Structure 1
Amino acid sequence: MSVLPLVFTSGWASGINAYAVVLLLGVFGVTGLSDEVPAALQRTDVLVVAGVLFLCEMVADKIQYVDTAWDALQTAVRPIAGAVVAALLAGESGSLPDIAAGAIGGSTALVSHLVKAGTRMAVNTSPEPFSNIVVSAAEDLGVAGIVVFAVFHPLAAAIIAATLLLLGLVAVVFLTSRIRRFLRRRARRREERRLAAAGAPGPPV
């Protein structure tokens, strides 16, 4: 069976939470629940690092504005992780060239990451912090559920992931005005901090 559906799904999930993907796949491999998990993802050091970083992401991702800063740091990490996981999965199955799998996983992770980052900017225009917690928890549960589902039903999981990715892109388009508002607010705060550090009066409110 082609590994392409699992590659696509892991790429989508990596764009949202790469550490959860590595951790879940590694646990499935170590416990023997799946024979398709590469040995590199089952290593103890990989699982420990992924677990620690997953906990860091789980906390940072639920704090208003901190989540956006965290997403900025993950802009390179998530696509690279998506590409590496995809290439490892392809190498394990032998049904898809590693380079092609890496390109699919990495590009899917990048698009998924941009959708997540854009959505979070829109959410951060809301003054209350609870929406961040709700959205982050939904993302965590969604990634976990779909990755687990993909191990046993890769094609169906890939269809769900593709649908969610498409819906996410549509949502970002509709939320463009809120994203711009967030970026303007952040730029204004940076200017206020710069002027305060220089001892100059801030811009008029």
Structure 2
Amino acid sequence: MFEVLTGTGLAASAGLNAYIPLLILGLLGRYTDLIDLPSGWTWLGNGWVIAIMALLLAVEMVADKVPVVDHINDVVQTVVRPTAGGLAFGAGSSSETVTVSDPGSFFSSHQWVPVVTGVLLALGVHLLKSAARPVINATTAGFGAPVASTAEDATSVVVSLVAIILPVLVLVVLVGLAFFTFWFFRRRSERRREREAARAAGFRV
């Protein structure tokens, strides 16, 4: 069960930033005993792969903090983040960690399930992030973009580490994500009704 939470946390992190969970998996697998990547995923710990992901992460972190550019980046990342989520879930859920000693038993008969699950989880988080960012930019005249992006990056790092070291806390993250999703779409609906009411009253909004 813990391997599912590990994969879930890593996939959700990829929905915020595609490269952070993969880079953390590679670094921890290469330099620590916190995670033991299985044979099919050891390439994540390759030095060249780590260097390339670090470079892509740097580009992503800069692009995501610039208004307008962040929107273009989100469009491009609609493919990248779910793909990374599938890889992260697949690698994380099949690895031995400090809390998982027999990761192969859960998905042994359906190897494609973790990858597809990771893709869907990351896509869901990505779509929520992409929907929230224009609202943040519009209400803060663009000044909120770097703040929101930094918060997302930090969250991705923390959730990735928690997923590997203490996966039970991923449940808390999922509850928080569910509450945020509910609040965001409820608030968005309220703002739409307010604009429609203002137009009906003869005001320009």
The TM-score by the shorter chain falls in which range? 0.7 to 0.9
SS of residue in 1 equivalent to 2:16: helix
Contact 2:7–2:93 under 8 Å retained in 1: yes
> For residue 22 of structure 1, what is the amino acid of its counterpart?
L
What TM-score comes out, normalization by structure 2 length? 0.79
Q: 2:76 aligns with which of 73, 77, 102?
A: 73
Change (3 A) 1:171 1:48: farther
What is the aligned partner in structure 1 of residue 144 from structure 2? 131
The offset of 1:151, in angstroms, is 1.5
Contact 2:20–2:157 under 8 Å retained in 1: yes
SS of residue in 2 equivalent to 1:103: helix
Q: Give the 5 Å matches for 1:31-46.
A: 31-37=31-37, 38-46=41-49
Deviation track 1:147-184 (CA, whole Å, cap 9, x = no partner) reads: 1122110121x21331232133224313536998xxxx
What is the aligned partner in structure 2 of residue 87 from structure 1? 90
What is the aligned partner in structure 1 of residue 171 from structure 2? 159
The offset of 1:128, in angstroms, is 2.8
Give me the whole-angstrom Cα distance separating, in 2, the residues matched to 1:114 and 1:179.
20
Contact 2:7–2:163 under 8 Å retained in 1: no
| Residue 120 of structure 2 corresponds to residue 107 of structure 1 | yes
Give me the whole-angstrom Cα distance separating, in 2, the residues matched to 1:173 and 1:29.
38
What is the aligned partner in structure 1 of residue 30 from structure 2? 30
Contact 1:23–1:50 under 8 Å retained in 2: yes
The gaps in structure 1 that reach 5 residues or longer are 181-205
The offset of 1:99, in angstroms, is 1.3
Contact 1:121–1:179 under 8 Å retained in 2: no
The offset of 1:20, in angstroms, is 0.9
Contact 1:124–1:132 under 8 Å retained in 2: yes
Task: Judge which range, 9-18 or 129-138, deviates more.
Answer: 129-138
Give me the whole-angstrom Cα distance separating, in 2, the residues matched to 1:81 and 1:115.
17
Q: Give the 5 Å matches for 1:189-204.
A: none
> For residue 96 of structure 1, what is the amino acid of its counterpart?
F
The offset of 1:126, in angstroms, is 2.6
What is the aligned partner in structure 2 of residue 168 from structure 1? 180
> For residue 58 of structure 1, what is the amino acid of its counterpart?
M
What is the aligned partner in structure 1 of residue 160 from structure 2? 147
> For residue 95 of structure 1, what is the amino acid of its counterpart?
S
What TM-score comes out, normalization by structure 1 length? 0.79
Aligned residues: 179
Contact 1:122–1:179 under 8 Å retained in 2: no
The offset of 1:25, in angstroms, is 1.4
| Residue 10 of structure 2 corresponds to residue 10 of structure 1 | yes
Give me the whole-angstrom Cα distance separating, in 1, the residues matched to 2:57 and 2:190.
28
Change (3 A) 1:5 1:75: same
> For residue 94 of structure 1, what is the amino acid of its counterpart?
G
Root-mean-square deviation (CA, aligned residues, Å) is 2.1
RCO higher in 1 or 2 (8 Å CA, sep ≥ 6)? 2
